[in-house]
Amino acid sequence: MLARCLSGSLHGIEALAVTVEVDLVPGLPGLQLVGLADAAIQESRERVRSALRNSGFRGPLVRVVVNLAPADLRKEGPAFDLPIALALLAASGQLDSPLLANLWCAGELGLDGALRPCRGVLAIANLAAAQNARALVVPSANAAEASLVPGLTVRAANSLSDVVDLLRQPQPLAPQHISKATAIANNARKPKDQPHPLLGCAMGHKALALAAAGGHHMLMVGPPGCGKTLLAKHLPYLLPPLTRQEALEITSIYSVAGMLTSTPQLMKNRPFRAPHHSCSVAALVGGGANPRPGELSLAHGGVLFLDELAEFPRKVLDQLRQPLEEGVILLSRARQKCAFPCQITLVAATNPCPCGRFGDDEHPCRCSQAQRQRYWSHLSGPFLDRLDLQLRLVRLPAAQLRQSIQGLVPIDRNDQELIGFEQIICARKRMLARNPGGQSNRDLSAQDLGRIGQLDEEALALWEQVVDCRRLSARSGLRLLRVARSLADLHDQDRVSKVAMAEAICFRSFDSSEY
């Protein structure tokens, strides 16, 4: 007898429909899996056998053929244990086949029949809802995650026998899971999520406002302890709250990566990821035989902070060049291609030299010219071109540190004169209304800048002079125009004046050749 059950296989951050087909045929007892299943699915044969026996069901005494269709799609992970077990019960007559009609399920089975959580349930739930599934059956630990998808009936169970009981006597979803699904619209930050007091020069504060308003990537160069890390950690608090669509997309990425908490809910805060400089290419951009998201995608919608930038291998940093332009990372493997979103704001920080004292009048640099050049050789010109805001930071005077310690000059969200949170929100509203597709100024094309940028002739003349004198590339010149447009938006100005252009030039305050 042939039986079918529906499930999904992860492909990037999305799921593709998979039909689990089970057929009992004459022959020696055994279970054969076909359909490009990976090692984890191949091992499900032993888990399913033991789970059936220890749950009080009859094991098949004939040859069992399990097909995962479509056959040319590679599948991975233990989430197919539950659909295989249910289809096998239906094929052996221990469960009525109509109960599996348009039923989706996913879950790993223990040898005792217990249901264990699996990653990527949110993506499978999205697919099931799009396919008008009758219901989705998942382990209890994944129920809250699956319930984040509106309009989908989710049934949770702790074991295989519980699933069979649910199917034979259907019950509505437990109220506690429904409440978790609906208590997700609050994007307000908790008091413990408020930013720490912020130190640094006014240039650093203005750069943060520009990065938050226009989405511009930022590089900070300065001696150790000048506040680079503190500035970077403050940026997520200046970004606007997540929309529901953004929160759902980010939560789906974390679900695919297996990084959701035990009580999942939609992400409320924008991500802040700070990988160590020893991370590999796959850890940063994602990868593997069955690609998973890396730090770049985990920071989607938020901030990716690369501290000690010059310590990263050059081949790792150059992998960021295309994703920073496109907002998506494309991973190609022999059998599959997938895309991970990575609309991020990149914030990078580094010392000016190995000892960190180059340019400090009070602490002479101990590095030779060759050491400084070798230190900066990790940063390629094309990569630096993609960093809109480049600024030097200096060591803070002791008097300013004392004032901060005494709480005299804390800088927080309510200090609009320095941080400009309200100006940031207003600037983003202006961009949303003016720019095509509501995109940020960082993503404006050259044609869009000429058509809607509203650049004064004096500003363009100054820009042309700077591009020629500094020999900036075409990409750097366009990014300079975008920063000037963001400055005008922050100052609530319709046109980009010569003053805004001059201020934008100040945010390209160094060139790697100087080091």
- pLDDT at 230 (0 to 100): 87
- 136-161 core/surface letters (b: 16 or more CB in 10 A; e: else): bbbbbbbbbbbbbbeebbbbbbebbb
What stretch of H or E contains 469?
helix 457-470
- Helix, strand, coil share (%) of the chain residues, nearest 5: 45, 15, 40
Q: Give the phi and the psi of residue 482 in degrees, each rounded to 5.
A: -65, -40
Q: Are residues 176 and 196 in the same domain?
A: no
Q: What is the pLDDT of residue 170?
A: 63
Question: 403 or 475: whose pLDDT is higher?
Answer: 475
* DSSP assignment string, 431-452: HHHHSGGG--GGG--HHHHHHH
Other C-beta atoms closer than 10 Å to the C-beta of 325 total 11
Predicted local confidence at residue 51, as pLDDT: 96
Which of 182, 217, 247 is at the close of a domain? 182
Mean pLDDT of the chain: 87
Angle between helices 44-54 and 81-91 in degrees, nearest 10? 60
Q: Does residue 225 share a domain with residue 120?
A: no
Domain count, the chain: 2
pLDDT at 171: 57
Taking residue 200's Cβ as centre, other Cβ atoms within 10 Å add up to 23
Predicted pLDDT of residue 418: 53
Are residues 200 and 171 part of one domain?
no
Residue 334 has pLDDT above 80, yes or no: no
What pLDDT, on the 0 to 100 scale, is given for residue 362?
Answer: 78
Give percent of the chain with pLDDT exceeding 90. Answer: 66
Residues 121 and 219 in one domain: no
Domain at 347, CATH number = 3.40.50.300
pLDDT at 398: 67
H or E stretch at 23: strand 14-25
Per the DSSP assignment, residues forming a β-bridge with 69 are: 19
Query: Residue 323's pLDDT band (boundaries 50, 70, 90)?
Result: very high
Q: What is the pLDDT of residues 371-418, one digit of tens each?
A: 999 999 889 989 999 999 999 888 776 666 655 555 544 444 444 445
Phi, psi of 317 (to 5 degrees): -65, -40
β-strands 63-69, 14-25 pairing? antiparallel
Going by C-alpha positions, the residue among 503, 510, 505 that lies closest to residue 479 is 505
* Same-domain status, 205 and 162: no
Q: Last residue of a domain, which of 128, 150, 182?
A: 182
Question: Which of 124, 159, 182 lies at the terminal end of a domain, its last residue?
Answer: 182
pLDDT at 511 over 60: no
Both 79 and 168 in one domain: the answer is: yes
Give the global pTM: 0.88
Same domain, 130 and 203: no
Same domain, 141 and 216: no
The predicted structure's pLDDT at residue 188: 38
Q: Are strands 2-11 and 14-25 parallel, antiparallel or unpaired?
A: antiparallel
Are 86 and 196 part of one and the same domain? no
Instruction: Please report the pLDDT score of residue 155 as a whole number.
Output: 93
* Predicted local confidence at residue 294, as pLDDT: 95
Do residue 44 and residue 132 come from a single domain? yes
Which segment of 114-128, 215-229, 357-371 scores lowest on mean pLDDT?
357-371
Confidence class for position 27, pLDDT limits 50, 70, 90: confident
| Residue that wins the pLDDT comparison between 313 and 201 | 313
Confidence of residue 225 (pLDDT cuts 50, 70, 90): confident
- CATH of residue 155: 3.30.230.10
| Domain identity same for 128 and 212 | no
Indicate if 241 and 353 belong to the same structural domain: yes
pLDDT value at position 199? 53
Q: What CA–CA distance (Å, rounded) separates 122 from 132?
A: 15
Read off the tokens for 211. 């990065």
Give the residue numbers spanning the domain of 281: 191-514
Q: How many CB atoms lie within 10 A of CB 296?
A: 25
pLDDT at 359: 79
pLDDT (average), residues 475-500: 94
